[in-house]
């Protein structure tokens, strides 16, 4: 049994942690994200706070049943011109979204929360700005065909670490933030909590 639990079903987050040499168990936290988002949007919460709240709720959900273990909750939201964009449910939805984002800038906000004993003990919220290039419809067709439904796992319908990088002309911000796991501040926190060596 590990001293760290990842409260996420994200294969990308798990791979990043594993590749960084962090030992952990996976125990996804299931929360009603859409209801929580709707409630926070109705209260005019900043989009940044929505990512932070969801990450915290996931960490706390798992921490309640494993209070002795450090639990990592994570969430990422896409802010497009002040609108919260959620994950697409189909490739048709992905096509519509990517056409909206084409030639424009959007922001990814990635939030991490560590919890222990049913309470948050550390948090980090970071953002990155991404400018999509004005790609052709034929490129988009090929992209959707090549990537398939796997791209639906990410909020922006792209995987920057793969073919999705070709959608962009400019990115400002941390690469790991774009992938949904701001790794450098997290590793610093994991050293402080003696999950990894100093």
Catalytic member of 52, 75, 79, 126: 75
User: What is the CB neighbour count within 10 angstroms for residue 165?
Assistant: 12
d(CA 39, CA 55): 16
Q: Which residue from 17, 31, 102, 100 is spatially nearest to 64, judged by alpha carbons? A: 31
- 54 within 8 A of 30, measured Cβ to Cβ: no
DSSP secondary structure, 108-133, as one string = EEEEEEEEETTEEEEEEEEEEEEEE-
DSSP annotation of 45 = -
d(CA 138, CA 59): 42
25: annotated active-site residue: no
Q: Which residue from 12, 16, 8 is spatially nearest to 186, judged by alpha carbons? A: 16
Tokens of 20: 């960084």
Residue numbers annotated as active site: 75
């Amino acid at each position: 049994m590990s001293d760290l639990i990842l409260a996420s079903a994200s294969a990308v987050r798990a791979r990043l942690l594993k590749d960084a040499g962090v030992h952990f168990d996976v125990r996804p936290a299931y929360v009603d994200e859409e209801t929580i988002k709707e409630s926070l949007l109705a209260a005019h919460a900043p989009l940044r706070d929505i990512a932070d709240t969801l990450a915290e709720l996931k960490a706390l959900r798992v921490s309640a049943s494993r209070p002795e273990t450090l639990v990592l909750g994570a969430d990422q939201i896409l802010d497009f011109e002040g609108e919260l964009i959620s994950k697409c449910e189909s490739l048709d939805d992905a096509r519509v979204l990517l056409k909206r984002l084409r030639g424009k800038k959007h922001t990814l906000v990635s939030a991490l929360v560590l919890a222990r004993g049913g309470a948050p003990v550390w948090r980090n919220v970071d953002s990155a700005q991404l400018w999509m290039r004005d790609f052709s419809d034929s490129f988009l067709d090929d992209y959707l065909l090549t990537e398939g439904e796997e791209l639906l796992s990410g909020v922006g319908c792209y995987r920057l670490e793969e073919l999705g990088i070709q959608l962009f002309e400019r990115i400002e911000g941390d690469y790991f933030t774009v992938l949904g796991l701001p790794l450098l501040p997290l590793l610093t926190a994991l050293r402080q909590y003696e999950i990894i060596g100093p």
